[in-house]
Amino acid sequence: MDFETWYQVVGELRPGPQDGPAPLVLLHGGPGATHDYLLPLRELADGGRAVVFYDQLGNGKSTHLPSRGADFWTVQLFVEELASLLKHLGIAGRYHVLGQSWGGFLAQEHALTQPPGLRSLVISNSAASFPAFAAEANRLRAGLPPEVEATLRRHEEADTTDDPEYAAACEVFYHRHLCRLDPWPKGVSEGLAQIDVDPTVYHTMNGPSEFHVIGSIKDWSAEDRLGQIKVPTLVASGRFDEATPALQETLLRGIEGSQQVIFEQSSHLPFWEEPERYLAVVGEWLNNHD
Protein backbone atom coordinates (compact mmCIF):
# COMPACT_ATOMS: atom_id res chain seq x y z
CA MET A 1 0.00 0.00 0.00
CA ASP A 2 1.22 3.48 -0.84
CA PHE A 3 1.03 6.13 1.89
CA GLU A 4 0.68 9.83 1.14
CA THR A 5 1.84 12.73 3.31
CA TRP A 6 -0.04 15.97 2.71
CA TYR A 7 2.02 19.16 2.90
CA GLN A 8 1.67 22.85 2.17
CA VAL A 9 4.40 25.41 1.64
CA VAL A 10 3.86 29.05 2.59
CA GLY A 11 6.30 31.30 0.75
CA GLU A 12 8.74 30.39 -1.98
CA LEU A 13 10.59 27.13 -1.57
CA ARG A 14 14.05 27.20 -3.13
CA PRO A 15 15.42 23.65 -3.07
CA GLY A 16 19.08 23.05 -2.39
CA PRO A 17 21.60 25.13 -0.41
CA GLN A 18 20.83 28.84 -0.84
CA ASP A 19 21.66 32.18 0.68
CA GLY A 20 18.93 33.93 2.61
CA PRO A 21 16.38 32.41 4.99
CA ALA A 22 16.42 28.63 5.23
CA PRO A 23 13.06 26.81 5.09
CA LEU A 24 11.29 26.00 8.35
CA VAL A 25 9.54 22.64 8.72
CA LEU A 26 6.81 22.46 11.37
CA LEU A 27 6.06 19.26 13.31
CA HIS A 28 2.61 19.27 14.87
CA GLY A 29 1.65 17.67 18.14
CA GLY A 30 -0.68 14.96 19.28
CA PRO A 31 0.46 12.47 18.24
CA GLY A 32 -2.67 12.54 16.17
CA ALA A 33 -3.38 16.24 15.69
CA THR A 34 -2.90 18.08 12.38
CA HIS A 35 -1.07 21.12 11.08
CA ASP A 36 -4.15 23.36 11.40
CA TYR A 37 -3.57 24.64 14.94
CA LEU A 38 -0.05 25.74 13.97
CA LEU A 39 -1.27 28.11 11.25
CA PRO A 40 -0.32 31.30 13.16
CA LEU A 41 3.27 30.32 12.37
CA ARG A 42 2.70 31.02 8.68
CA GLU A 43 3.58 34.62 9.61
CA LEU A 44 7.20 33.46 9.85
CA ALA A 45 7.18 33.39 6.04
CA ASP A 46 6.77 37.19 5.82
CA GLY A 47 10.53 37.79 5.64
CA GLY A 48 11.09 35.51 2.68
CA ARG A 49 11.39 32.25 4.60
CA ALA A 50 9.45 29.25 3.29
CA VAL A 51 7.37 27.58 6.01
CA VAL A 52 6.38 23.96 5.50
CA PHE A 53 3.26 22.54 7.14
CA TYR A 54 2.36 18.87 6.89
CA ASP A 55 -0.04 16.36 8.38
CA GLN A 56 1.77 13.37 9.80
CA LEU A 57 0.69 9.97 8.54
CA GLY A 58 -2.66 8.84 9.90
CA ASN A 59 -3.87 12.39 10.44
CA GLY A 60 -5.69 15.18 8.63
CA LYS A 61 -5.21 15.14 4.88
CA SER A 62 -2.56 12.41 4.89
CA THR A 63 -3.33 8.70 4.52
CA HIS A 64 -5.46 7.31 7.35
CA LEU A 65 -4.82 3.77 8.56
CA PRO A 66 -7.37 2.98 11.28
CA SER A 67 -6.78 -0.75 11.11
CA ARG A 68 -3.07 -0.52 11.99
CA GLY A 69 -2.01 -1.39 15.53
CA ALA A 70 0.66 -0.25 17.95
CA ASP A 71 3.43 -2.13 16.16
CA PHE A 72 2.90 0.14 13.15
CA TRP A 73 2.57 3.50 14.93
CA THR A 74 6.14 3.95 16.11
CA VAL A 75 8.35 6.98 16.58
CA GLN A 76 10.63 5.59 13.87
CA LEU A 77 7.76 5.67 11.38
CA PHE A 78 7.45 9.42 11.78
CA VAL A 79 11.22 9.96 11.74
CA GLU A 80 11.34 8.20 8.37
CA GLU A 81 8.32 10.15 7.10
CA LEU A 82 10.03 13.47 7.93
CA ALA A 83 13.24 12.40 6.19
CA SER A 84 11.23 11.42 3.11
CA LEU A 85 9.44 14.76 3.08
CA LEU A 86 12.70 16.72 3.28
CA LYS A 87 14.10 14.69 0.40
CA HIS A 88 10.93 15.11 -1.66
CA LEU A 89 10.98 18.88 -1.17
CA GLY A 90 14.66 19.06 -2.02
CA ILE A 91 15.56 20.96 1.15
CA ALA A 92 17.49 18.33 3.09
CA GLY A 93 20.65 20.36 2.52
CA ARG A 94 19.52 23.38 4.56
CA TYR A 95 16.49 23.81 6.81
CA HIS A 96 15.23 24.44 10.35
CA VAL A 97 12.80 22.32 12.36
CA LEU A 98 10.24 23.48 14.92
CA GLY A 99 8.53 20.69 16.82
CA GLN A 100 5.60 21.49 19.12
CA SER A 101 4.48 19.16 21.94
CA TRP A 102 4.75 15.59 20.54
CA GLY A 103 6.37 17.28 17.56
CA GLY A 104 9.17 18.23 19.95
CA PHE A 105 9.78 14.55 20.69
CA LEU A 106 9.91 13.91 16.96
CA ALA A 107 12.23 16.88 16.45
CA GLN A 108 14.67 15.43 18.97
CA GLU A 109 14.62 12.04 17.28
CA HIS A 110 15.21 13.72 13.91
CA ALA A 111 18.16 15.70 15.24
CA LEU A 112 19.62 12.52 16.73
CA THR A 113 19.97 11.10 13.22
CA GLN A 114 22.61 13.83 12.71
CA PRO A 115 21.10 15.27 9.50
CA PRO A 116 23.80 17.43 7.88
CA GLY A 117 21.39 20.08 6.60
CA LEU A 118 19.68 20.86 9.91
CA ARG A 119 20.57 24.44 10.83
CA SER A 120 18.70 24.74 14.13
CA LEU A 121 16.02 23.19 16.28
CA VAL A 122 13.11 24.77 18.15
CA ILE A 123 11.65 22.43 20.78
CA SER A 124 8.39 24.10 21.75
CA ASN A 125 6.17 23.05 24.67
CA SER A 126 7.73 19.61 24.89
CA ALA A 127 9.94 17.40 27.05
CA ALA A 128 12.83 14.94 26.89
CA SER A 129 10.70 11.99 27.97
CA PHE A 130 7.08 10.93 27.96
CA PRO A 131 7.15 9.57 31.55
CA ALA A 132 8.38 12.96 32.78
CA PHE A 133 5.72 14.75 30.73
CA ALA A 134 2.97 12.52 32.11
CA ALA A 135 4.26 12.97 35.68
CA GLU A 136 4.11 16.75 35.38
CA ALA A 137 0.66 16.62 33.78
CA ASN A 138 -0.55 14.54 36.70
CA ARG A 139 1.03 16.94 39.17
CA LEU A 140 -0.96 19.74 37.52
CA ARG A 141 -4.05 17.55 37.49
CA ALA A 142 -3.83 17.27 41.27
CA GLY A 143 -4.56 20.99 41.39
CA LEU A 144 -7.93 20.61 39.69
CA PRO A 145 -11.16 20.98 41.70
CA PRO A 146 -11.75 17.77 43.72
CA GLU A 147 -14.97 16.92 41.90
CA VAL A 148 -13.21 17.17 38.53
CA GLU A 149 -10.38 14.92 39.68
CA ALA A 150 -12.92 12.45 41.06
CA THR A 151 -14.72 12.32 37.71
CA LEU A 152 -11.48 11.70 35.84
CA ARG A 153 -10.41 8.95 38.24
CA ARG A 154 -13.80 7.25 38.21
CA HIS A 155 -13.89 6.93 34.43
CA GLU A 156 -10.26 5.87 34.16
CA GLU A 157 -10.77 3.11 36.71
CA ALA A 158 -13.96 1.98 34.96
CA ASP A 159 -12.36 2.20 31.50
CA THR A 160 -15.14 4.56 30.38
CA THR A 161 -12.93 7.38 29.16
CA ASP A 162 -15.12 7.66 26.06
CA ASP A 163 -17.92 9.04 28.27
CA PRO A 164 -18.80 12.72 27.58
CA GLU A 165 -18.47 13.37 31.30
CA TYR A 166 -14.79 12.40 31.12
CA ALA A 167 -14.26 14.70 28.14
CA ALA A 168 -15.91 17.56 30.02
CA ALA A 169 -13.62 17.01 33.00
CA CYS A 170 -10.59 17.00 30.70
CA GLU A 171 -11.70 20.37 29.36
CA VAL A 172 -11.12 21.92 32.78
CA PHE A 173 -7.48 20.83 32.63
CA TYR A 174 -7.09 21.91 29.02
CA HIS A 175 -8.40 25.42 29.69
CA ARG A 176 -5.78 25.80 32.40
CA HIS A 177 -2.78 24.16 30.78
CA LEU A 178 -3.41 23.79 27.03
CA CYS A 179 -4.86 27.17 26.03
CA ARG A 180 -5.89 29.82 28.55
CA LEU A 181 -7.77 32.03 26.09
CA ASP A 182 -11.53 32.20 26.69
CA PRO A 183 -13.16 31.34 24.42
CA TRP A 184 -10.67 29.29 22.49
CA PRO A 185 -9.90 30.72 19.05
CA LYS A 186 -11.61 28.88 16.22
CA GLY A 187 -8.25 27.68 14.92
CA VAL A 188 -7.49 26.00 18.24
CA SER A 189 -10.83 24.30 18.79
CA GLU A 190 -11.20 23.16 15.20
CA GLY A 191 -7.57 22.14 14.86
CA LEU A 192 -7.45 19.99 17.98
CA ALA A 193 -10.87 18.54 17.19
CA GLN A 194 -9.17 16.71 14.34
CA ILE A 195 -7.91 14.22 16.91
CA ASP A 196 -11.51 13.12 17.45
CA VAL A 197 -12.19 12.84 13.72
CA ASP A 198 -9.77 9.91 13.62
CA PRO A 199 -8.36 9.11 17.09
CA THR A 200 -6.33 6.12 15.87
CA VAL A 201 -2.88 7.65 16.31
CA TYR A 202 -3.58 9.56 19.52
CA HIS A 203 -5.32 6.69 21.30
CA THR A 204 -2.76 4.12 20.12
CA MET A 205 0.39 6.10 20.91
CA ASN A 206 -0.75 8.35 23.78
CA GLY A 207 -4.04 7.24 25.33
CA PRO A 208 -7.38 8.88 26.13
CA SER A 209 -5.98 12.13 27.57
CA GLU A 210 -2.82 14.15 28.22
CA PHE A 211 -2.45 12.77 31.74
CA HIS A 212 -3.79 9.21 31.32
CA VAL A 213 -0.93 8.01 29.14
CA ILE A 214 -1.27 4.29 28.42
CA GLY A 215 -0.28 4.18 24.74
CA SER A 216 2.67 2.69 22.89
CA ILE A 217 5.04 5.62 23.47
CA LYS A 218 4.40 5.95 27.20
CA ASP A 219 8.02 4.96 27.89
CA TRP A 220 9.70 7.07 25.18
CA SER A 221 12.74 9.03 26.30
CA ALA A 222 15.70 10.83 24.78
CA GLU A 223 17.20 11.90 28.11
CA ASP A 224 20.34 9.78 27.84
CA ARG A 225 20.89 10.77 24.19
CA LEU A 226 20.50 14.55 24.32
CA GLY A 227 24.25 15.10 24.27
CA GLN A 228 24.25 13.80 20.70
CA ILE A 229 22.19 16.78 19.50
CA LYS A 230 24.78 19.16 18.11
CA VAL A 231 22.70 21.90 16.45
CA PRO A 232 21.67 25.23 18.02
CA THR A 233 18.50 24.54 20.00
CA LEU A 234 15.88 26.88 21.41
CA VAL A 235 13.66 25.43 24.15
CA ALA A 236 10.32 27.23 24.57
CA SER A 237 7.43 26.78 26.99
CA GLY A 238 4.61 28.67 28.66
CA ARG A 239 4.57 29.49 32.35
CA PHE A 240 1.28 27.54 32.75
CA ASP A 241 2.19 24.86 30.20
CA GLU A 242 1.29 21.21 30.66
CA ALA A 243 4.87 20.80 29.42
CA THR A 244 6.01 22.74 32.46
CA PRO A 245 9.14 24.90 32.57
CA ALA A 246 10.57 22.32 34.98
CA LEU A 247 10.58 19.79 32.15
CA GLN A 248 12.73 22.07 30.05
CA GLU A 249 15.61 21.84 32.51
CA THR A 250 16.46 18.33 31.30
CA LEU A 251 16.62 19.54 27.71
CA LEU A 252 18.78 22.52 28.66
CA ARG A 253 21.22 20.39 30.64
CA GLY A 254 21.40 17.70 27.99
CA ILE A 255 21.76 19.78 24.80
CA GLU A 256 24.98 21.75 24.90
CA GLY A 257 24.50 25.46 24.27
CA SER A 258 20.71 25.27 24.20
CA GLN A 259 18.75 28.37 25.16
CA GLN A 260 15.42 28.82 26.90
CA VAL A 261 12.49 31.19 26.58
CA ILE A 262 9.40 31.14 28.80
CA PHE A 263 6.18 32.84 27.74
CA GLU A 264 4.81 34.23 30.98
CA GLN A 265 1.17 34.65 29.89
CA SER A 266 0.87 31.31 28.09
CA SER A 267 0.20 27.65 28.58
CA HIS A 268 0.74 25.05 25.81
CA LEU A 269 -0.01 27.25 22.78
CA PRO A 270 1.97 30.49 23.15
CA PHE A 271 1.73 31.20 19.40
CA TRP A 272 -1.99 31.75 20.07
CA GLU A 273 -1.73 33.17 23.58
CA GLU A 274 1.23 35.53 22.99
CA PRO A 275 1.52 35.50 19.19
CA GLU A 276 3.51 38.70 18.69
CA ARG A 277 6.21 37.75 21.18
CA TYR A 278 6.35 34.12 20.05
CA LEU A 279 6.74 35.06 16.40
CA ALA A 280 9.36 37.69 17.24
CA VAL A 281 11.42 35.33 19.40
CA VAL A 282 11.30 32.41 16.97
CA GLY A 283 11.82 34.66 13.96
CA GLU A 284 14.93 36.18 15.50
CA TRP A 285 16.26 32.74 16.44
CA LEU A 286 15.86 31.46 12.89
CA ASN A 287 17.47 34.57 11.41
CA ASN A 288 20.46 34.17 13.71
CA HIS A 289 21.01 30.54 12.69
CA ASP A 290 20.40 30.53 8.93
Tell me how far apart the alpha carbons of residues 9 and 237 are, in angstroms, rounded to a whole number. Answer: 26
* 40 close to 69: Cβ distance less than 8 angstroms: no
Tell me how far apart the alpha carbons of residues 41 and 269 are, in angstroms, rounded to a whole number. Answer: 11
Instruction: Tell me, yes or no, if 216 is annotated catalytic.
Output: no
Per annotation, catalytic residue among 36, 237, 241, 267: 241
How many Cα atoms within 13 Å fall on the side-chain side of residue 254?
A: 20
Per annotation, catalytic residue among 101, 129, 216, 237: 101
Per residue in 156-187, is it b (16+ CB within 10 Å) or e — as a string? beeeebeeeebeebbebbbebbbbbeeebbee
Tell me how far apart the alpha carbons of residues 87 and 5 are, in angstroms, rounded to a whole number. Answer: 13
Measured CA angle at 271 (ends 137, 215), to 5 deg: 35
Long-range CB pairs of 11-15 (<8 Å, 24+ gap) are: 11/45, 11/48, 11/49, 11/50, 11/51, 12/48, 12/50, 13/50, 13/52, 13/89, 13/90, 13/91, 14/50, 15/89, 15/90, 15/91
* 85 close to 5: Cβ distance less than 8 angstroms: yes
Per annotation, catalytic residue among 155, 203, 212, 268: 268
Instruction: Tell me, yes or no, if 36 is annotated catalytic.
Output: no
Instruction: Tell me, yes or no, if 101 is annotated catalytic.
Output: yes
* 91 close to 17: Cβ distance less than 8 angstroms: no
* Main-chain dihedrals φ then ψ at residue 129, nearest 5 degrees: -155, 150
Number of other CB atoms surrounding residue 147 within 10 Å: 10
Tell me how far apart the alpha carbons of residues 245 and 248 are, in angstroms, rounded to a whole number. Answer: 5
Tell me how far apart the alpha carbons of residues 235 and 86 are, in angstroms, rounded to a whole number. Answer: 23
Active site residues: 101, 241, 268
